[in-house]
Amino acid sequence: EQIQQINPHRFEFQQLDGIFFADRERVVIAGFRDLKDDEFWVRGHIPGRPVFPGVLMIETAAQLVSYYVVSERNDGKFLGFGGVDAVKFRGQVVPGDRLIMLGEMVEQRNGRKYVGLTQGFVDGRMVYEGLITGMFI
């Protein structure tokens, strides 16, 4: 799979299911995550009313930013999670939803630190937004 060639996350922690758009000139990327009924968090994160945990939405966004930066640099280095800012959750994401995650690279310093503005959408409505910082480690 194309994502596993770039991102090292596997099994329950691979949060991206696909990348469907990337534009190097505009430094933007779009991917998706299909939420299923049998995910590890469904049973315990609000029993009877499972809601995708916000921290996993942030992780999905971080993996999108990582995929973009690492695939652009193509040097095999690992972009680690460096921070998160200005996060807002604007709606619920539940099993059966397709979470569309968009990212735009807004800052790059010294070839080591990268910041992406990320947004998540379900059925055309924004459910998440935040700034993700990645650092090469």
Q: What is the pLDDT of residues 67-124, one digit of tens each?
A: 999 999 888 899 999 999 999 999 999 999 999 999 999 999 998 999 999 999 999 9
- Rounded to an integer, the average pLDDT of 125-130 is 99
pTM of the model: 0.95
Let me know if domain 2-136 sits in CATH 3.10.129.10. yes
- Measure the CA dihedral 21/78/88/31, to 10°: 20
What residue segments make up the domains of the chain, in order of their start? 2-136
- Distance (Å, whole) CA 122 – CA 124: 5
At 80 the pLDDT is 94
Q: What is the pLDDT of residues 38-47, one digit of tens each?
A: 999 999 999 9
- Distance (Å, whole) CA 115 – CA 134: 6
Q: What is the pLDDT of residues 7-31, one digit of tens each?
A: 999 999 999 999 999 999 999 999 9
Which sequence positions are flagged as catalytic?
A: 45
Q: In DSSP terms, which residues pair with 33 in a beta bridge?
A: 99
Q: Is the pLDDT of residue 37 over 90?
A: yes
